[in-house]
Chain A
Amino acid sequence: MSSVIDWESTSNPVKENRAGNIGKAVDRYEGPLKVTGTAPYAYEVEPPSPPAYGVMVSAPIARGRITAVDTAAAEAAPGVMLVWTYMNAPAQGPRPERYDFFTPSPRPALESDRVYYFGQQVAVVVADTLENAQAAATLVKLSYQDDAAKAVTFHDHFDEGVQPPGESDVEIGDFEKAFAAAPVTVDDVWRTPLQNHCQMEPCATTAWWDGDQLTVHTSVQMVRFAQNSLAETLMLPHKSVRLLTRYVGGGFGGKGSFYEDLVLASLAARELGRPVKVAFTRQQMMHGTVHRPATDVRVRLGATPDGRLTAMSLMTTTHCDRRGNFTEHASNFARSLYAAPNRLTGHRLVRLDLPVASAMRAPGEASGTLSLEVAMDELAEKLGIDPVELRILNEPESDPETGKPFSIRQLVRCMREGAQLFGWDRRLPTPGQVRDGRWLVGMGMAAAIRGNFLLPAKASFTVDADGVITVKQGMTDIGTGTYTVLAQIAAETLGVPLGDVRVEIGDSELPPAPGSGGQFGAATAGSAALDAGMNLRKAIAEIAVNDPASPLSGGDAAQVTFQDGVIAIANRSERLSELIRRNRPDGLTADGEVRPAADASKWSSHTYGAHYVEVGVDTITGEVRTRRMLGVFAAGRILNWKTARSQLTGGMIWGVASALTEGNAVDPRYGSLINQDLASYLVPVQADIGELDAIMLDEVDDKANPMGIKGVGELGISGAGAAVANAIYNACGVRVRDYPITPDKLLAALTAI
């Protein structure tokens, strides 16, 4: 079992960074393929023979039963090879009563006559061409009994919220008493809407069989989870399924699981004895995959007149689907953010006839910071204290709930450096003071926090007779930079040029890693890779000192150095490729792994940051424009300055959108989501985003993992929207607590002033 103490006290090539590969702004490893359009995503992989095309049909009711099936017209349509509904779909493994997103289990498609949510896949048509399949899919006639009598809007069922299974509220001290006694208080509710991931690549699968062996190329974040679950769905041994996901066109949590495209393409390919491709349409993505559920977060803060928090509470009510098991933990981050002796946090969950709720970029923090970080702004105003200073006043020395020491915490430095670089001192605390023509201009800030995680993972490293190192891992790169950082770790660990590293990921036949999610990817996959690299170093050193033909012969294996493709002991050296060519012409492989440290729970470990933003509010239209934005972050040692910065700026833009444009509303007539495409669900476009940058502080978190790194994929969104909301208030004096802050809401409030 590994230990934080060992991680802290043991040096390694990544920490030493002698060749300087770590932290460097290295171009993306797979970048040349992506910019030339030659990286094959799942639907684009060329199968061994021409594929058939599957098109899915989705249910138009929120709950009920399929009462009649008429597929005659579809079956008779040109080119149609197969039409399946629950009536004739092949037998599959049974779905467990409740399932989560980490434990593999069967996910049968077209499993029964029951409809559990609007947009559930209820039929599939496979034809010789995409056009024939699309046309025939419109001919499938299904009749329904609609049982969704109850309204499905979240707020109509608010009072039905129950404690999520296995959870309890967390109280420290006596919150109610302290809040009642506090001389200065804030007590408000913030609402965040349901949101869709809108990855650019809709979920898609290409599947084919070779005898009893299935090969699927699909678009998922977690290789092993999807491969095991698919095998169990098909009632096959795990090893009968090879799942590949080499290029993923965005995940953001929405491809943490997998969907009917994977199951139906696999089943249809078996039935037809030819490859089958199935993709979601953009419209099907909105209901048929997962979404971030809406939240209501009640924040109560009590403080002394000099700005010390005495009471703090976040209570979240959220929703999930009937069969799922997901809670948007929007209160949790607050447990570690500010000092306050009396604290109460918890969650209530409402089960609704809605599509499946699940994780979306920074689950918990992304929603929760939109409340607390605005409440802090409101409190700062009531107290007459600068929002940055208020946060610094309430900076805890140790984790405010557990008392555990922080592994490292540079939140105050992030806020101070951000304030200076942004020019925060030019902000006027009274709203509505800065005018630029028809625009009112204001500044806002917010703190960022996101947890740090490490999961078990494996990896292997191979060196070949050319001295080329190949990293192999069942890991994914969903745009995060996995390929690139694994190459950097390999180059640094084995002392070879970056150009002599190959990275193979996204394949279930490779050593398993949990995949991409929860911003644990780089730390988890990278730490396993480092271990494999260290084991390969040892194996190479042993061979060298025991090889009479090597200049290193007879030396001490522990003294062997690796640099520029050369291994050496003092002034005795030879090329790595020569040693391998002589001793292991077929290559030499070493395995490695990482496990969470047994003592890791002794520390409170997070990533931190501070957002500063300037917005303009159009007094005539209510439109909000972000004029400039800066984030300063502390997230451990940075592996790649370029890809890390991109993750952070991308997250910040998501935060801007969560404040201003993004959200989906439930249509209570059908239990559907109103916005079903990218014209109505407003993800940000180029014109929405002004000048925006992210800066990373020097940091090493030696308690996080052997490399001292942490994740950045979800930190950037955390708090970013709150900074925008605070800037809007500073610009025009309006607080909108019902996100997104759209022109209609703002204009109504502006007119009322």
Chain B
Amino acid sequence: MKTTITVNGEPRTLDLDPRTTLLDTLREHLKLTGSKKGCDHGQCGACTVLVNGVRINSCLSLAVMHDGDQVTTIEGIGTVEKLHPLQQAFLTEDAFQCGYCTPGQICSALGMLKEVAENWPSQETANLTGKITLTDDELRERMSGNICRCSAYPQIVAAIKSVAGELA
């Protein structure tokens, strides 16, 4: 099936088996292997990408459902030569060990910060109509869809907090 997806700003037209997930499209067809396959069932968050600015588990979505969508993967966020401030913060705070969940954590955190800025409530939100403050509990709740088996959780909180103000 012919599908055109704009990935990291570049329109990509692919002729895909309709069973192909967005994750496998990125990894196997576009060689964008930064998005990781940790469970292939939407349970670990390692495959998190931004679709039209919103974070999703790309393993739970078929590529053909994204015709015309804007997809941002970790490769579109920063490069080794020019790290995004959040990537730099992950490096500085040592917010990863094996690194396999890291692209998903970073994409998820960027999506999460936008959700907070737009006052989307979470389970931790006391006031559903007011301005949301990114407390540690809010942050932990909102990042709980991204498993880090190395358990860099305190460092991930520190990294996101260190740039949350500047990115909001």
Contacts and interface: CB of A to CB of B under 8 A. Distances in A.
A692 B146 CA distance: 19
A686 B38 contact: no
B35 interface: yes
A362 B37 CA distance: 27
A437 to B, nearest CB: 14
B81 to A, nearest CB: 9
Interface in A615-653: 642-643, 645-647, 649-651, 653
Given A135-B19, A687-B144, A35 B106 contact: yes
B100 A201 contact: yes
B101 to A, nearest CB: 5
Q: For chain B, give the interface size range.
A: 35 or more
A33 B78 CA distance: 11
Q: For chain A, give the interface size range.
A: 35 or more
Contacts of B140: 686-687, 689
A552 to B, nearest CB: 38
A129 interface: yes
Contact of B91 (A27, A199, A201): A27
Given A36-B78, A678-B43, A27 B94 contact: yes
Interface stretch (B20-28, B50-58, B125-133): B20-28
A478 interface: yes
B67 interface: no
B31 interface: yes
Given A35-B90, A36-B74, A642-B94, A200 B80 contact: no
A38 B38 contact: no
A683 interface: yes
B151 interface: yes
Interface string B41-74: 1011010000000000000000000000000011
B79 A130 contact: no
Nearest to A282: B39
A41 B79 CA distance: 18
B154 interface: yes
A686 B36 contact: no
B43 A479 contact: no
B99 A686 contact: no
A36 B149 contact: no
Given A36-B83, A37-B75, A693-B154, A131 B20 contact: yes
A135 B18 CA distance: 13
A36 B155 CA distance: 17
A679 B147 contact: no
A678 B39 contact: yes
Interface string A36-53: 111111011010000000
B87 A35 contact: yes
Contact of B34 (A37, A247, A250): A37
Contacts of A478: 98
Contact of B31 (A31, A41, A46): A46
A29 to B, nearest CB: 11
Contacts of A279: 37
B102 A34 contact: yes
B91 A35 contact: yes
A137 B31 CA distance: 25
Given A32-B83, A282-B38, A650 B91 contact: no
Given A130-B24, A131-B20, A282-B44, 8 more contacts: A31-B99, A35-B83, A37-B32, A40-B33, A46-B31, A129-B20, A249-B100, A250-B150
Question: Closest 9 interchain pairs by CB?
Answer: A37-B34, A249-B100, A34-B99, A479-B98, A479-B97, A37-B74, A653-B151, A44-B33, A37-B103
9 contacts: A34-B96, A35-B83, A41-B33, A198-B149, A200-B46, A250-B97, A282-B41, A683-B149, A687-B140
